[in-house]
Amino acid sequence: MLLDLIKAARSYRRYDASKPLTIETVKGFVDAARLTPSAGNLQRLRYLALTDKSEVLALTKEVKWAGYLADWDGPTDEEAPTAYLLLLSPESTGVSLIDVGIAAETILLAATEQGYGGCMILNFPREELTKRYHFAGKYKIELVISLGVPAEQVELESVKDDEIRYYRDRNGVHHVPKRKIDEVFLTPKDLTE
Ligand SMILES: Cc1cc2nc3c(=O)[nH]c(=O)nc-3n(C[C@H](O)[C@H](O)[C@H](O)COP(=O)(O)O)c2cc1C
């Protein structure tokens, strides 16, 4: 069921680092993303997969994880993702951010369907990565996605008192509040009241 897949495709930030992802598997996720809509069908996004263990561990220490979890410094080496995907746009043209969103969620859904999981990460060291991977003059990094086999439990719950911050309970379960359908689905009456 599509809804079950969407519910399962949470942001995972702790993984089983002993279960590596191959470039071929990551390429399969991108193969799904390349079929999605894009503005003008321009298909400007490019994807760079990182699976080398030392590169992946280095990046894991550089990105900013879970801003709302003040006491957590991010995954340990044993909990680290086993791959990253960098979503790139041509520096000369840029790309519609809507295209980036469509591609990113498609990648998470494709990964989840195959027993993997990921997290979209906007808080990454842009300058360092641009230098490290020789993107200057060619590509702008639009988004980083961590990938791996999830090793944490994530539960959805309803937003209460407008509190949207995710949190981790004492058993280590990560909780993600979502707004109720009647809060987000407007009717004409909501606009005239
Ligand atoms: C555009 C975008 C940027 C994000 N950047 C980060 C980030 O830098 N670090 C992080 O840990 N999570 C990041 N996230 C994940 C969000 O925190 C996550 O989607 C949100 O908490 C809801 O959880 P869910 O994805 O399980 O529904 C980002 C998500 C999106 C869509």
Q: Within this chain, do residues 36 and 98 fall inside the same structural domain, yes or no?
A: yes
Sequence-distant (6+) residues with CB within 8 A of 72 are 65, 66, 168
Rounded to the nearest whole angstrom, what is the distance from the C-alpha of residue 13 to the centroid of ligand 1?
Answer: 10
Q: Are β-strands 174-178 and 154-158 bridged in parallel, bridged antiparallel, or unpaired? A: parallel
Q: For residues 82 and 94, state if they share a domain.
A: yes
How many angstroms is it from 7 CA to the middle of ligand 1?
A: 15
Tens digits of per-residue pLDDT, 42-61?
A: 999 999 999 999 999 999 99
Range of the domain at 179: 153-193
In this structure, the answer to whether residues 65 and 34 fall within a common structural domain is yes
Same domain flag for 185 and 104: no
Same domain? For 124 and 101 the reply is yes
Contacts of 101 (CB under 8 A, 6+ apart): none
- 99 falls in which pLDDT band (50, 70, 90)? very high
Q: How confident is the model at residue 77 (pLDDT cuts 50, 70, 90)?
A: very high
Q: How much is the mean pLDDT over the chain? A: 98
Residue nearest to atom 26 of ligand 1 (CA): 10
φ/ψ of 174, rounded to 5, equals -90, 125
Radius of gyration of the chain (CA): 18
Cα–Cα distance between 147 and 27 in angstroms, integer?
12
Looking only at Cα atoms, what is the longest distance across the chain?
A: 57
Q: Indicate the number of domains in the chain.
A: 2
Residues 32 and 123 in one domain: yes
Q: Tell the residue nearest (CA) to atom 6 of ligand 1.
A: 121
Fill in the amino acid letter for 50: L
Residues 172 and 123 in one domain: no
Residues 76 and 26 in one domain: yes
What does the alpha-carbon distance between residue 84 and residue 82 come to, in Å, rounded to a whole number?
A: 7
3-state secondary structure of 78: helix
Residue from 12, 120, 144 whose mutation best tests the ligand 1 pocket (most atoms within 8 A of CB): 120
Length of the chain (residues):
193
What's the pLDDT at 193? 75
Please state the φ and ψ torsions of residue 87, each to the nearest 5 degrees: -95, 120
In angstroms, rounded to a whole number, what is the distance separating the alpha carbons of residues 82 and 17? 6
pTM to 2 decimal places: 0.98
C-alpha 190/C-alpha 188 separation (Å) is 5
Give the pLDDT mean for 130-142: 98
- Ligand 1 atom nearest the C-alpha of 9 is 26
Which CATH number is 75's domain given? Answer: 3.40.109.10
The answer to whether residues 170 and 127 belong to one domain is no
Q: Residue 131's CB: how many other CB atoms inside 10 A?
A: 11
Share above pLDDT 70 across residues of the chain, in percent, rounded to a whole number: 100
Residues 141 and 49 in one domain: yes
